[in-house]
Amino acid sequence: MKYSISRVIINIALGINLICCFQGDLWAQADSYPSRPIRLIITWPVGGFADTLGRTVANQLTTSLGQQVVVENRGGANGMIGADAVAKAAPDGYTLMFQSITSHAINPTMYGKTPYSTEKDIVPLAVIASVPLLLVENPNFPPKNIAELITLAKKDPDAIAYASFGNGSASHLAGALFTNQAGIKMIHIPYKGGGPAITDTLSGQTPLSFSAFGVALPHVRSGKLNALATTGPTRSKLLPDVPTIEEAGNLKGYEMSIVYAVWAPAGIPTPILNKISKALDQVTASSAFKEKVASDGGEVMNINTPADSQAYFQKEMQRLSKIVKDGNIKAD
């Protein structure tokens, strides 16, 4: 019996020692992190707002962490190609992802399944920006406000088309939510990007477009397009005379903004996670980041803890999935 008790005591002591060693190793990793360049995967092609905002994040993280953050664009499948690469990366803090919550949240519903677990394999570290869309029209299109648009659409269902920058994109969901809440029908025309969509609206090929704010803004200011409404919860400071769809159409609760977050593979040690979170705090507080978001009509968001970010993501996932189901939105 004495021998057995002695062995138990020894085993407990060894276990405690191993735990202490493990915790010490984690803190040692955190102390040296980052010791090499960090990869930030942007899940969209080069050139769009998501890319330029993501690069601003990378530049600011480089300053905050004191180590180069290298951008890698992996576009395709509404962000799933890049997300899959992140899900399969080592959870050591050296691979991060810049992706919109909007796209990441709807993919399981729209595609049926993803090659990774959206909720378990990739976790949001911080929700950092919200950018609304603009519903713009060709000046030759008769309705001059949301009320007139709804009236015309009810009078002649499926006679009006609107452009989006892709099937299942935030602009597609903005249109689906609008038609559903307004009780109207319009034809959705998906384009491969915001550029081609706005080009056809400028030419009158498509009368309406739910456009990225920054893409449409120069054309609104030049008079080549009319801004009917913004899809955000409040009016934009850049276009204070343009109402929200909620107020213009009396559509309570209408909102469809593109919300951006920084993500990581699940399982990153807490000490490293804390370092990244602190660095992201500094990113959202930087003037360069604030100016970039403001230039596209957006607002900086400061949900900078993984727990709060995950709670926000779960709520948005439920809301956006419902829009996908109600609009019968399917993958291409």
User: Cβ atoms within 10 A of the Cβ of 97, count?
Assistant: 28
The per-residue pLDDT for range 209-244, each reduced to its tens digit, is 999 998 999 999 999 999 999 999 999 999 999 999
Strands 258-265 and 95-100, by their bridges, are antiparallel
The pLDDT assigned to 16 comes to 56
Q: What is the mean pLDDT of residues 60-70?
A: 97
The pLDDT assigned to 166 comes to 86
Q: How confident is the model at residue 31 (pLDDT cuts 50, 70, 90)?
A: confident
The pLDDT assigned to 80 comes to 93
Q: How confident is the model at residue 3 (pLDDT cuts 50, 70, 90)?
A: very low
The pLDDT assigned to 331 comes to 78
Checking if the pLDDT of 143 tops 90, the result is yes
**From CA 130, how far away is CA 173, in angstroms rounded?**
15
Checking if the pLDDT of 256 tops 70, the result is yes
Q: Which percentage of the chain shows pLDDT scores above 70? A: 91
**From CA 114, how far away is CA 117, in angstroms rounded?**
7
The pLDDT assigned to 2 comes to 47
Residues with Cβ within 8 Å of 318's Cβ and at least 6 positions away in sequence, in order, are none
- Alpha-helical regions (H) of the chain: 2-32, 49-65, 80-87, 101-111, 146-155, 170-182, 194-203, 213-222, 245-249, 270-285, 287-295, 306-326
Comparing 15-24, 27-36, 100-109, 183-192, the range with the smallest average pLDDT is 15-24
Checking if the pLDDT of 27 tops 80, the result is no
Checking if the pLDDT of 252 tops 60, the result is yes
Strands 208-212 and 161-164, by their bridges, are parallel
E strand or H helix that includes residue 163: strand 161-164
The pLDDT assigned to 162 comes to 98
Amino acid type, 61: L
Q: Which domains does the chain carry?
A: 37-131+260-326 (3.40.190.150), 133-249 (3.40.190.10)
The per-residue pLDDT for range 265-320, each reduced to its tens digit, is 999 999 999 999 999 999 999 999 999 999 989 999 989 899 999 999 999 999 99
Checking if the pLDDT of 158 tops 60, the result is yes
The pLDDT assigned to 1 comes to 46
Q: What angle do CA 250, 251, 255 make, to 5 degrees?
A: 130
Handedness of CA 324, 326, 331, 332 (dihedral sign): negative
Checking if the pLDDT of 13 tops 60, the result is no
**From CA 90, how far away is CA 61, in angstroms rounded?**
19
What distance lies between CA 290 and its chain's CA centroid?
Answer: 17
Checking if the pLDDT of 260 tops 80, the result is yes
CA distances from 228 to 31, 125, 145, 173 (A): 52, 35, 5, 17
